[in-house]
Chain A
Amino acid sequence: MSRVAFMLREALVNLRRNILVVTGAVLAVFISLGLAFSALAVNELVRINTIAWQQGVHLIVWLNDAGRDGVPADAHENLLNEVLTWEEVANAYYVDKTAAYEEFLDLFGDNPEMVEALQNPSALPTSIRIELADIELYQQVEFRLQQYPQLIQRISSAAQEIEQISAVSRVLNLLGIGLSIVLGVSAMILIANTIRLAIYARRDEVSIMKLVGASNWFIRVPFLLEGLIEGLVGAALAVFAVWVAGRNLAGAAEGIQLVNLQVPNAFFLRWGVVFLLFGAAAGVLGSLLGLSRYLREADGGGRPAGVRRALEPV
Chain B
Amino acid sequence: MIRLEDVTKVYEGGTVAVRDVSLDIPKGEFVFLVGPSGSGKSTLIRLMLREEAVTRGTIYVAGKDITALPAWKVPYLRRSIGTVFQDFKLLPNKTVFENVAFALEVLGRPRSVIGPQVEQVLELVGLADKAERYPRQLSGGEQQRVSIARAFVNRPPIMLCDEPTGNLDPATSVGIMKLLDRINRTGTTIVMATHDHAIVDAMQRRVVQLSNGVVIRDEVAGRYETVGEQ
Contact = CB atoms under 8 A, between A and B. Distances in A.
A247 interface: no
Interface stretch (A141-149, A177-185, A210-218): A210-218
Contacts of A207: 89
A153 B78 CA distance: 91
A299 B91 contact: no
Contacts of B109: 2
B16 A213 contact: no
Contacts, number: 86
A314 interface: yes
Interface string B35-78: 00000000000000111111110000000000100011011111
B220 to A, nearest CB: 30
Contacts of A215: 72, 75
Nearest to B68: A303
A3 B114 CA distance: 13
A300 interface: yes
B75 A214 contact: yes
Contacts of A270: none
Interface string A237-270: 0000000000000000000000000000000000
Interface in A145-160: none
Given A300-B49, A311-B55, A212 B10 contact: no
Given A204-B91, A214-B75, A215-B75, A303 B53 contact: yes
A57 to B, nearest CB: 67
A1 B150 CA distance: 23
Contacts of B74: 299-300
Given A300-B49, A300-B51, A302-B71, A218 B78 contact: no
Nearest to A6: B105
B111 interface: yes
Most buried by A among B78, B106, B107: B106
Given A208-B102, A298-B71, A302-B71, A213 B55 contact: no
A12 interface: no
Interface range, B side = 35 or more
Nearest to B83: A211
A298 B74 CA distance: 10
A302 B74 CA distance: 10
Contacts of A3: 108
A205 interface: yes
B89 A2 contact: no
B110 interface: yes
A312 interface: yes
Contacts of B110: 1-2
B108 A213 contact: no
Interface string A275-304: 000000000000000000000001111110
B111 A314 contact: no
Contacts of A16: none
Interface residues of A, number: 28
Interface string A10-34: 0000000000000000000000000
A213 B76 contact: yes
A293 to B, nearest CB: 15
A311 B75 contact: no
B130 interface: no
B194 interface: no
B111 A2 contact: yes
Nearest to B108: A3
B195 interface: no
Nearest to A301: B53
B50 to A, nearest CB: 5
A209 B94 CA distance: 14
A308 B9 CA distance: 10
A211 B154 contact: no
Contacts of A300: 49-52, 71, 74
B71 A213 contact: no
Nearest to A208: B89
Given A215-B75, A218-B106, A301 B51 contact: yes
Contacts of B77: 213
Contact of B106 (A209, A302, A308): A209
Interface string B70-98: 01101111111101000001010000000
Query: Which 8 pairs show the lowest CB-CB distances between chains A and B?
Result: A299-B71, A213-B78, A213-B79, A214-B106, A301-B53, A212-B103, A303-B53, A3-B108
Interface of A: 1-3, 6, 204-205, 207-216, 218-219, 298-303, 308, 311-312, 314
6 contacts: A3-B108, A6-B108, A208-B103, A218-B106, A302-B53, A312-B56
Given A6-B106, A214-B75, 10 more contacts: A205-B91, A207-B89, A208-B102, A212-B102, A212-B107, A215-B75, A218-B106, A218-B108, A219-B106, A300-B52
